[in-house]
Structure 1
Amino acid sequence: MVLIKLFLAFLKIGAFTFGGGYAMIAMIQAEAESQGWLTQEELVDFVALSESTPGPLAVNMATFVGMRTGGVLGAIIATLGIILPSFIIILIIAKCFEKYEKSKAVGGIMSGLKPAVVGMIGAAFISVTRTVFFPSGISISAFSSAGFWIFLGLFAVTTVLAFKKVHPIKIIILSAVIGIGAGYGLGL
């Protein structure tokens, strides 16, 4: 029964989430928490871990949740569930692309999906930020905590580095050094 739930949950997430892994975080979080597969803190930890491992974020997350919930078979089932809709959709699009490439309806659909994708990514960002930096809720004391100032510092450094066109690997290494230093320095 758990394997069927895993497959259907990740099939639904894969079928109804456009915009890639970041847009899927909110749906994965809602599903994993409602089923009792992961807590919000565990999900945030795994997002960080998944970003440092090869492979797409959503596939890594589905595999992790599946492994944790149903072992190796659960990992396989959840991974198939999340990739199957995209695979089928891409096959259909590839088959029909030339015929409908100039269609106003297709252009309208794609234009309509863009704000939804931005909203899903924004919702995931807010959820993860709230969990990591404001676990006790947002209050005046939260803005004086070390976590808030680390977040603000990392955001500022990342923004400057992004506009200076620094290689992404350098940004990742710098962020890791800052995060590790902050973790050891603050006992996080």
Structure 2
Amino acid sequence: MKAIVYTSQTGHTQRYAQMLAERTGVPAYSLKEAGKSLRRGEEIFYMGWLMAGTVKGLQSAMDRYTIRGAAIVGVSPQGNGDLWTEARINGGYSDSGGRLFYLQGGYAPEKLGFFYRMMMKPMAGSVVRQVQARGEAATDQERRMAEIFQHGGDFVREEALDEIVRWFREGPHDGEVKAVPSVDI
């Protein structure tokens, strides 16, 4: 693996990428920096943040590099949706053999730009209202998400990278992430 390439909005994904670089000895670059440091087609591990079901920067990274694995960083304690179903069916791999991981990052609305803050505000309010309406019937995960949306939270933990570090050490890897996954949050 030539590099870890990431896109980060509030710093959670960047912190994970820097910790992974320290643990693996593979350099980490933001997607913008990577364009100056890496050649087209280089093998990378991609890390991107999840926003409204889209893994930010993933399409741009796929257009330029060979992505052997990817970690998607989201607010939820666990991933869900098509990406995670595909990965579970395939033992943690995309249909084209690229390794997929999910990491819980955090929620820091004060660090979001105006556009993203305005996008998140109705969704956060909706989650909180739904949990309040469900009362005792709300699940623990629903309650945790409502709490995160009300108060923010930082869940970046070095030990969350253990499985990815093991995967790096198992290399080399020949699968590839070739399609932008559909992700539910």
Fold-level similarity (TM above 0.5): no
Q: TM-score, normalised by structure 2?
A: 0.26
User: Greater RCO between the two (CA within 8 Å, min separation 6)?
Assistant: 2
The structure with the greater share of residues assigned to helix is: 1
The structure with the greater share of residues assigned to strand is: 2
